[in-house]
Structure 1
Amino acid sequence: MSRTKPLLSACLIVFGALFCLLYPMLLIWPSGWAWHPGSPAANDYFMMICFIYITLGIFMIRAAKDPDAHASLIWFVIWSSVAHALVMAWESFRTPMMMGHLTGDVPALVIIAGVLAFLMKRQPAPHPAAI
């Protein structure tokens, strides 16, 4: 077993739990997490993306039991987080009311992607017999 596997599992649980707590974070600090003004429930898109992240968080927590078996899910989390962070950074500079994202979801997603990518790169390649 890799020495970083327990750390990867712990990070999947912590980050997955944070994804599951997206809705309360949106209520507490909307300028750093919300994508529109007003109540979170006032926008259908907002609720859709919120529940997509909650679902992803649940699967991240489940993947923590065996990260090797869920490598494609973990890489999806990494690359989708990078893509989301890039889009939100662009929108933050393009639209002044979105500047809060530069201190909210943009750095959070970059940190999550960076930590998970680092830990995934530290995992040994699966043995051919295990495939």
Structure 2
Amino acid sequence: MTGKTPLLSAALAIFGVAFLLLLPLGILWPSGWAWHQGSPLASDYYPMIIAFYSTLGIFMIRAAKDPAANASLIWFVVWSSVAHSLVMAWESFRTPMMMGHLVGDVPVLLIVAAVLGTLMSRATPRVSAST
């Protein structure tokens, strides 16, 4: 990565904060953000998801200060978001009462992956085939 990457830094900070908001989103709109009936706080797995994404969100905010030094973390966010959203989309179709996720967390993770992947690709220098 060369030069300044203000858009990448901003995207990392914004998405990092969004990852920190998963608990309130799950409480306010459980059909789009939680994968069970009832309160997200009554789930066995939701606290684990919150712990993971909150930690990832904090590291994304930290990475916004120097994206070049955190390229592996950023690519992890990109590809794990794609993988996670594909699994969630499959599960939404498999379990019809979970279709709300197709307008909740599934597209959000694909947007995170697309934006960060595009900005990372633009920030990464191309290596010439003749070198």
4+ long deviations beyond 3 Å? none
Match of 1:93 in 2: 93
- CA drift of 1:44 comes to 2.0
1:48-95 alpha-carbon deviations (Å, 9 max, x no partner): 011100110000000000000000000000001000100000001110
Match of 1:125 in 2: 125
- CA drift of 1:14 comes to 0.2
Tell me if the contact between 1:2 and 1:124 (Cα under 8 Å) persists in the aligned partners: no
- CA drift of 1:31 comes to 0.4
Letter in 2 for 1:111: I
Q: How many residues align?
A: 125
Q: Which runs of 5+ in 2 are unaligned?
A: 127-131
- CA drift of 1:2 comes to 3.5
TM-score normalised according to structure 2 size = 0.92
RMSD, aligned CA: 1.3
- CA drift of 1:125 comes to 3.0
Q: Which runs of 5+ in 1 are unaligned?
A: 127-131
Match of 1:129 in 2: none
